[in-house]
Amino acid sequence: MNNLLDFTLEELKAWMKENGESAFRGQQILSWIYKGVKEFDDMKNIPKPLVHKLKENFFVGMPKIIEVYKSNIDGTEKFLLGFTDGNLIESVLMRYKHGNSICISTQVGCAMGCKFCASTIEGKVRNLTTGEILSQIMVVQDYINERISNIVLMGSGEPLDNYNNVIKFLEIVSAEYGLNIGQRHITLSTCGIVPKIYELADKELSITVAISLHAFSDDKRKEIMPIANRYSIEEILEACRYYISKTNRRITFEYALVKDVNDGREDAKALGKLLKGMLCHVNLIPVNEIKENTYKRSSKKAIEDFSEILKNHGIEVTTRREMGSDINAACGQLRRSYINTQEIEGRVKW
């Protein structure tokens, strides 16, 4: 059995042809699905024999909503979602004036080992399929009965470590036949897997790439991000310049501020020097404190000073507003605390 959400239009048309059907049926079926009709019997223009074939060969794989936590502070909703193999992931819905935005996961767990992140504590369990990445948006849209217009691939997992499935996801989510969410409304966040940034650039998509930089020197970066042992900051910046030259898109650099680790004035000056003149934007993220490590959030004053110094270097800066601080909104926290309270793995299956 195949998950229909794993299929691009071209792939489904090819399947139709191989199975003695007209290719245009592929378009009809996908347009039903992405309009929200997931039962083959309800697809009015599909002949009964094909409905039968679809039932024999396909399913529409949607995750189960295990829990929904809503922030009393800002209305952010965190969804704990379960797949049929018992694995759990998190997706976070944030409501802004300009529309609904969702932060989705691309892997169960993560292999990258960033010290400040709860998603990686038990390593990577597995990649999510294209359909599993897409279905996070669909299940949340169904739940709130509203459209989602912005996507960030910033939940658990390193998107470029699941490259092929993520590329296919980007095609379907932005296609007219799919969820039709414009690529300019999609941000992919990576810890900096250099060869994949070049590959992505060559696709010439119009998504925003966000690099989790978090330090201005390789030595400092190595302290918090093991990926820094593989690729230097200079190699990452070179790949970013290539991305900009191919796409003309501004790069976002994510910088999680950790008290007394990377939030000093000297750090800000060095970062400003490093990025000066580049088509980029820095997003400062006051780190979420998790009980698995000792990192502390920077003071308000340190955050303001850091931001000011970058601005003095001509760099655009924003400070991420904390969303859902009362609901374990940092990536990976909810899944871990849920699993810990379930004690027996079998209880999270159904």
β-pair partners for 252: 210, 281
Q: Does 110 bind ligand SF4 (CB under 6 A)?
A: yes
Catalytic residue selected from 21, 90, 132, 254: 90
Judged by beta carbon, residue 30 or residue 257, the one nearer ligand SF4 is: 257
Judged by beta carbon, residue 9 or residue 240, the one nearer ligand SF4 is: 240
What is the H or E stretch that residue 267 is in?
A: helix 265-275
In a 3-state reduction of DSSP, which class is residue 105?
coil
Q: Does 120 bind ligand SF4 (CB under 6 A)?
A: yes
Q: Does 290 bind ligand SF4 (CB under 6 A)?
A: no
Contact yes or no for 120/53 (Cβ under 8 A): no
Judged by beta carbon, residue 37 or residue 111, the one nearer ligand SF4 is: 111
Choose, by CB under 6 A, the member of 61, 82, 157, 178 that binds ligand SF4: 157
φ and ψ of 75, to 5 deg: 80, 0
Q: How far is CA 58 from CA 53, 75, 77, in A?
A: 8, 36, 31
Choose, by CB under 6 A, the member of 33, 80, 117, 197 that binds ligand SF4: 117
Q: Does 28 bind ligand SF4 (CB under 6 A)?
A: no
Give the x-and-dash track for 199-218 against ligand SF4 (CB under 6 A). -------------x------
Contact yes or no for 244/279 (Cβ under 8 A): yes
β-pair partners for 127: 107
Question: Taking CA 216 as the corner, what is the angle to CA 213 and CA 222, rounded to the nearest 5 degrees?
Answer: 70
- Is 56 known to be catalytic? no
CB atoms closer than 10 angstroms to residue 19: 11
Choose, by CB under 6 A, the member of 87, 119, 127, 307 that binds ligand SF4: 119
> Among 43, 41, 91, which Cα is nearest to 64's?
91
Q: Which residues, 167 to 196, sit near ligand SF4 by CB under 6 A?
A: 191
Which range of residues in 88-96, 111-119, 180-188, 233-241 is near ligand SF4 by CB under 6 A? 111-119
CB atoms closer than 10 angstroms to residue 267: 20
Strands 77-82 and 88-96 come out as antiparallel
Judged by beta carbon, residue 101 or residue 120, the one nearer ligand SF4 is: 120
Number of residues that bind ligand SF4 (CB under 6 A): 13
- Is 234 known to be catalytic? no
Residues in contact with ligand SF4 by the rule CB under 6 A: 110, 112-114, 117, 119-120, 156-158, 191, 212, 331
- Known catalytic residues are 90, 331
